[in-house]
Structure 1
Amino acid sequence: MKVVPGASRSEMSGWLGDMLKIRVPAPPENGKANAAVEALLAEKLGVPRSAVTIIAGKVAQRKVVEIQGLSLSEVMGKLKLGDKRA
């Protein structure tokens, strides 16, 4: 996924190729944007915040996230993103 910190609001902007683009208002300092991304994903997926972890790219815009308790197809279904990839 690609994260854009410092946005006006939290949102899932859609697809950039095979990457999900997420915007969060938190600044990219002291892990604030990462925490905002994890919280947004947990909320949208209906899982506890502790089930969502950024496992790669903590200091980069491109990140890899692990979501415990859900398969990829369940995540795609809950986010209603299906095949809307560009």
Structure 2
Amino acid sequence: MSFYRWQGEDLIIACHLQPRASKDEFCGLHGESLKVRIKAPPVEGKANAYLIKFLAKQFGVTKRDIEIISGELSREKRVRIADPQKLPEQIEIAKA
């Protein structure tokens, strides 16, 4: 199984989040999830908001085009990206 799947024009990604990292980056796979490091702490929703901002920039969409569909309070999350305009070079995602 892959860490992503296409649902029509939307991209669904399984993420393993590492908050309080030294820098923001995609850093390979963690099991069957994409490991994402972000600087924000996991306090009062700050990590989720920061993750949405980071993914919006990486995929060329607005923050409202990103939705955490599961794992709101977990490191393991599933995220929907509505109609991504670009695919980050650091990770291998085939266009649907």
Quote the residue 2:88 is aligned against. 79
In terms of fraction of residues, the more strand-rich structure is: 2
- How far has the Cα of 1:29 moved from its partner? 0.8
In terms of fraction of residues, the more helix-rich structure is: 1
Quote the residue 2:80 is aligned against. 66
Let me know the Cα RMSD of the aligned residues. Answer: 1.7
Q: Structure 2 unaligned segments of length 5 or more: list them.
A: 1-14
Q: How does 1:18-57 map to 2 (within 5 A)?
A: 18-57=32-71
Instruction: Map Cα deviations across residues 7-48 of structure 1 (whole Å, 9 max, x no partner).
Output: 111111111233100011111011100111111110000001
Secondary structure of 2:76's partner? Answer: coil
Q: Give the % identical residues.
A: 35
Quote the residue 1:16 is aligned against. 30
**Scaled by the length of structure 1, what TM-score is found?**
0.81
Q: Structure 1 unaligned segments of length 5 or more: list them.
A: none
